Amino acid sequence: MATYYLSHAGIKGMKWGVRRFQNKDGSLTPEGKARYGVDDQSGSHEDYKKARSTSVRNMSDAELKKALERVRMEEDYKRLTAVQKSEGRKWVESVLQESGKEIAKHFIVKYGKAGIQKGIEAGGDVYKTGERRKHILEVVRNRKKK
């Protein structure tokens, strides 16, 4: 009778949840950069760096032409490789956008008038004295209490 089992010893001395080639914020350690072949310049190509680092005034005509060609090629690549949105997705996005605008308008009409009225009642010169932020916070706090 054969018994099957899976075992994994991991790396000796390694702690749980600790990554060898990655910092806690997700960036790569120097060893990680070496392992994955990433430059300090985030893997950018020489032409890309050159096209964006030199001032236009200091470029010759040939360098400027080469830089423009590089930028145009990148834009063309982005445009050609972009994922096309389906008609349904476009429609849903437009509906959400329009309904969001309507909700915002309704909110401003409903609550904006009350806020402006309270500001006027409190004294129109409140906004001139630099106390505007304190006044707004006070109005908001009073509204939350109700």
Per residue in 102-116, is it b (16+ CB within 10 Å) or e — as a string?
A: eeeeeeeeeeeeeee
Q: What is the pLDDT of residue 42?
A: 53
DSSP state of 110: I
pTM given for the model: 0.28
Per-residue pLDDT at 77 exceeds 80: yes
- Higher pLDDT pick, 53 / 111: 111
Q: What is the pLDDT of residue 96?
A: 92
Q: What is the mean pLDDT of residues 92-102?
A: 91
Both ends of the chain: CA-CA distance in Å?
74
Orientation angle between helical segments 132-145 and 113-122, nearest 10 degrees: 120
Q: What is the mean pLDDT of residues 81-97?
A: 88
Q: How many contiguous H segments (helices) and E segments (strands) does the chain have?
A: 6, 0
Q: What is the pLDDT of residue 59?
A: 80
- Residue ranges of domains in the chain: 44-81, 108-146
Q: What is the pLDDT of residue 120?
A: 66
What is the average pLDDT score of the chain?
78
CA distances from 11 to 14, 28, 35 (A): 5, 19, 17
